[in-house]
Amino acid sequence: MIPRDREQLTVPPDGKPLAEQPKWRQDFPIDWPQDEYISRRELTKFLVLTSLAFAVGQCWIVAQNFLRKRQGQPLVQQIARLDEIPVGGVRLFQYPDPHKSCVLVRLGETDFVAYDQQCTHLACPVIPEPQANRLYCPCHEGVFDLATGRPVAGPPRRPLPRIRLEIRDGTVYAVGYGEETT
């Protein structure tokens, strides 16, 4: 780099050009133009490395989600036999792991819905009220539509995660967690 203002330059003790100086003197120059050049170079390096770290982090999150979804595919679990739950009846169950409480409600002869029981506001358990077509959260009076899981009153803004169901041979199975409400 050719300096524009020779007043800002100093001559190294040995009189050699900067390129031939020891590394410590190149990294910590005493000439202003050179110092500014190195500051810009360090800033650019910092920005590039930060962007790279950010991109790697994003890729890592995407990969984790992908693996989790793949591992979570075959989660089939028996919940109840049809003759165990009357129309309007409710059954609590754990899915997809023993720490996740979910609720199954029978809406009709072959019509069932199931949701994660944890309120999407501050995680209180919701209470199914089939006679009122709703799931009620007593903590802050949140209300979810029973047929869709969507919030209809109170502070919750997100729908309850839905459990996908299948009926085979007179038995209701949970076959997927967190399906979007349609």
Contact residues: ligand FES, CB under 6 A: 119, 121-122, 124, 137, 139-140, 142, 154-156
Beta bridge partners of 164: 176
Reply yes or no: is the peptide bond before residue 96 cis, omega within 30 of 0. yes
Q: Which is nearer to ligand FES, 29 or 149 (CB)?
A: 149
Who contacts 121 (Cβ-Cβ below 8 Å, separation ≥6)? 137, 139, 140, 142, 154, 155, 156, 157
- Name the minimum Å distance from CB 66 to ligand FES: 31
Burial pattern 27-37, b for ≥16 Cβ within 10 A else e, equals eebebebbeee
- Name the minimum Å distance from CB 39 to ligand FES: 51
Q: Which is nearer to ligand FES, 29 or 161 (CB)?
A: 161
Q: Which is nearer to ligand FES, 139 or 165 (CB)?
A: 139
Q: Which is nearer to ligand FES, 160 or 172 (CB)?
A: 160
- Name the minimum Å distance from CB 169 to ligand FES: 36
Cβ-proximal residue to ligand FES, closest one: 142
H or E segment and range at residue 76: none
